[in-house]
Structure 1
């Protein structure tokens, strides 16, 4: 026995397993699984580096059924094909000397429909969770309850096969097992509901089948734990005496430990507010001798050795460590060596700490990330008040500033505020304080509110900076000196600014809109590149020659060959540049016009735009880069034929001069400028556009006034799959995942994987000038964007093709015949009707079935100003305009007469990096 600290004392569990000390890693959501719940390599690495000194690692909850995931990126144990991936986690933990325990669960009514393909979640009763917008679940039938218990047993069997030392049954956090025991969520009148005894049957049955599987397939010391939430707030709800009743019943059958699910080790009751007694003390005082033989795990607030020792001193037998293990992979070694730790994460250390990208973006971790860079801004200390106006909200916020940091953001008291807005504010406030910047990710589902808050904070910073300049005796309206001015904050502008800054330039970004992101944030499919390391890791054989040829063919041989060669050659390096900046695009799919999988996207298969902008903005916040929002460039200034700065005008119509030797124009195209579109293509009058309202071609006009030449201005791309009521782009990844296009007559009419111009033309040629994109649940599971479309409400779905046809007012026999014929083509891997050669991935035969009505919309303008391979802007005679650079859709020549899906993101990143590099070098001359 260790006399120095009790945390190092070993513990023998009731069934015989020995833990070498009293420390375990808590099961924490990482959101790092693949779309189908399989294990990723980075998740294995994450657990490997944290195992070792800890007595055990409890791996995050694994859903046991395909209706069970309670959050995106959850890992699964719902089928035997999950065993190999889970085995890699178990081996990684055990190889370091820690016990490996797997938590198993089902989310029940806490599952969001979009996580399960729009299907209705299941629960003991058809009672929605008491939260805003909660879905009313479907009650499980008696037979389904029996089947669910069997599925828990199957999960235990798979955990044993995967090599885990034990399982933790997740009966907490309002998930399915707790739902069966709760009088709020369980209103059944059969053997599984009603009395407390009946409600306890389900958790007891799960424990019983766990014991049976362990007895048949595992060693005698296989660990069986149970996690529980001591109380519920709901009325009626679980109270502490209910919990003791259930735990006594579970202990009688046999458990190795019970795991308190509480936010803090010494938390008191959440329903009996007048009683300050920690729940662990009540538990110890009231438990029976039988329950006293079962060790207890406490969790919550453990950062240092003293915290762990406090937990043991209050009667816990084991202590679980959560966030501290994320921030410090070697946490146990540190506290054993008496280090005093602070719970924060260096914003530059994600890879060094082996934290997967999805977990890094998870709110629990995001709150710990601290920007360790030194801001170059100077603020006047004090409190600055600004107004927030979003939808019906008109509020005031107080931004408290120190000389170089935002120290607080507070709402003026307003009794009319609802809970949703308060939650949005609190989350966004925390993100901005951690980043020391208003340029952070918006809150999902509250974008308008988020952007209004961010804008108000941005205004407060500008006001304070201006006040500081005045206090120091300066003139805030005087010309300000930079090395590089970047106009536009989409992907090209952000990449250019980051690269220029890293090359030693002082940079400012000028953005006419109120938010960062430009058109890039709407991008969906991914980024094309050939011969990348991620392709090689997946065994994809590709060549830059094929990429060049297919892009040239797609552009109808009008592409500028010099620019296209640079584009193709530098694409793999651009993928690596993003990865080096913690923006990893390592999942790969295909788009129309490409001959192989080369479209790189996030591992969770989400839309690339938001992922890309989020990552770039984090890099922006780590650098000394000024940003001016709601600020337009009125003129690019020149002297003796060379660029010397810009004149800008803010939202208050105040103007000022920014001096710089280099100006990078990255303002995007002109798809949202109807007058300009119609000028070059009259036949497109009346088409909707997928672009954001800032895509007006303003940068082209600025450069033309400097004498810049233009090319291919008449080449305007319409995208074939646009939802017309919302102008929402339906990603090419859906067709690339195996979807088909069907006319109102129920028939395919063209090769879905042809180039966008050809597919659009065929849709327009249909009598109704629209079509349906149809896919099954296999396509949905492989494309996260599909769940977004379902959540937005413009997807029709049905369990069978016949039922879907009824919803679409389509001939059932025609649709069935079309699907049968297409599925035959998939089987033979040849499309006899239209020659489709790619993305014949699997037959469309797994319900539910989905359909979205689509028609073409103005999507991309291939024309723009002329540049050379260094991104220097050329005048009408092909000569360089000194100091003028351009990147992205503002330029022309790269895509020719038609852009291939996935080439726009490649364009903005490749040439954005080049522009930043060359502009910085030119400014230093």
Structure 2
């Protein structure tokens, strides 16, 4: 390996003393490939084993903690004890080659899809009408009751117990991408006038506390817990960097092992407000103040882009999303002086279809995700 890439392969020690073998993270990618009932499929096992083999930390696709929270076709479930057999297979596949295996626990909230939820029911912090994922038309989400909110917090804890029983190394709380936890933080989605609206950080902090409590009861000190968040919303009034500053400063007081910022571009700048024009990742790293590692992600398609992100000193860990889908040997090629062979462009005519699960390949081919492409679409 070229010595200039050595910083990408430095070990990272988490606050709980667990050591990751390198700085690379498999991002929690929506693969739409689980069985219809949310159990783990054979296709999914093969796919995730390939993508996990060289990273330090591997995060599964967002996995719904209740049936009401299902937001994607082919989404994995951690909502039932009957999911455990498949989850055990998934844990074994993800850990097979030395990665630490994490399940991202998730609830779609307003973004849940009526055609996937019981009786077409969708619930959110406040009533809202919106269009989500693959929908052709808008759907309506009703307001959650106080009892349902409490039940959902408990469900995140129960999901964590199942993840522990399945043999995973940790969980990541999905507080990003306009799903339920982010919705409670957002003044756009959360217009409640009760305790859950007057303090919009109450719900995420309660979820964190429930997950941590479950870990203490069922796992040892090596079990990893992370939290993913989106730093700004385009909606008005939405989440601003000022709101995110408050969120981060609350999160770093919790016994978390990393924070994971969801960005489409790792170098993206703040849109508006007090921090307008400043790099989001730099601000976040300053606010975390060395308390725990920050995972960055966003449009990393080449080894040079990965190196630039790590050498900026604004991230300790670097998640690969679309790129590791295009080339699951990305990391291995760097290690073996084959970085010039890295595949960084989607080729719809590629014979092996980038080793993607069939349904995910169809989405790539249809242009569902922004990607460099050989056909210019």
Normalising by structure 2, we get a TM-score of: 0.91
Distance (Å, rounded) in 2 between the aligned partners of 1:180 and 1:274? 23
Distance (Å, rounded) in 1 between the aligned partners of 2:334 and 2:213? 39
Distance (Å, rounded) in 2 between the aligned partners of 1:32 and 1:117? 20
Query: Is the contact between residue 304 and residue 335 of structure 1 (CA under 8 Å) also seen in structure 2?
Result: no
Q: How many residues align?
A: 369
Match of 1:161 in 2: 165
Match of 2:72 in 1: 71
Unaligned runs of 5+ in 1: 370-425, 436-925
Change (3 A) 1:134 1:86: same
Query: How is 1:145-544 mapped onto 2 (pairs within 5 angstroms)?
Result: 145-194=149-198, 198-271=199-272, 275-285=276-286, 287=287, 289=289, 292-314=290-312, 315-336=314-335, 337-340=337-340, 341-347=342-348, 349=350, 351=352, 353-363=354-364, 366-367=366-367, 433=375
Match of 1:37 in 2: 38
Change (3 A) 1:433 1:274: farther
SS at match of 2:168: coil
Match of 1:62 in 2: 63
Query: Is the contact between residue 214 and residue 222 of structure 1 (CA under 8 Å) also seen in structure 2?
Result: yes
Query: Is the contact between residue 131 and residue 139 of structure 2 (CA under 8 Å) also seen in structure 1?
Result: no
Match of 2:20 in 1: 19
Larger-gyration structure (1/2): 1
Of structures 1 and 2, the one scoring higher in RCO (CA 8 A, sep 6+) is: 2
Query: How is 1:109-120 mapped onto 2 (pairs within 5 angstroms)?
Result: 109-116=110-117, 119-120=120-121
Distance (Å, rounded) in 2 between the aligned partners of 1:89 and 1:331? 22
Query: Is the contact between residue 343 and residue 368 of structure 1 (CA under 8 Å) also seen in structure 2?
Result: no
SS at match of 1:154: helix
Query: How is 1:524-923 mapped onto 2 (pairs within 5 angstroms)?
Result: none
SS at match of 1:100: strand
SS at match of 2:309: helix
Distance (Å, rounded) in 1 between the aligned partners of 2:375 and 2:273? 34
Cα offset for 1:282?
Answer: 2.2
Cα offset for 1:283?
Answer: 2.3
Change (3 A) 1:4 1:110: closer
Cα offset for 1:278?
Answer: 1.4
Normalising by structure 1, we get a TM-score of: 0.38
Query: Is the contact between residue 366 and residue 431 of structure 1 (CA under 8 Å) also seen in structure 2?
Result: no
Distance (Å, rounded) in 2 between the aligned partners of 1:152 and 1:41? 26
Distance (Å, rounded) in 2 between the aligned partners of 1:366 and 1:160? 37
Query: Is the contact between residue 129 and residue 185 of structure 1 (CA under 8 Å) also seen in structure 2?
Result: no
Match of 1:127 in 2: 128
Change (3 A) 1:160 1:349: farther
- 1:746-766 Cα offsets, whole Å, 9 max, x none, are xxxxxxxxxxxxxxxxxxxxx
Unaligned runs of 5+ in 2: none
Distance (Å, rounded) in 1 between the aligned partners of 2:19 and 2:145? 41
Distance (Å, rounded) in 1 between the aligned partners of 2:106 and 2:54? 27
Change (3 A) 1:275 1:247: closer
- 1:646-681 Cα offsets, whole Å, 9 max, x none, are xxxxxxxxxxxxxxxxxxxxxxxxxxxxxxxxxxxx
User: Which has the larger strand fraction?
Assistant: 1
Change (3 A) 1:152 1:288: closer
Query: Is the contact between residue 5 and residue 307 of structure 2 (CA under 8 Å) also seen in structure 1?
Result: no
Distance (Å, rounded) in 2 between the aligned partners of 1:329 and 1:317? 21
Query: Is the contact between residue 257 and residue 294 of structure 1 (CA under 8 Å) also seen in structure 2?
Result: yes
Cα-Cα RMSD: 2.6
Match of 2:106 in 1: 105
Distance (Å, rounded) in 1 between the aligned partners of 2:300 and 2:246? 28
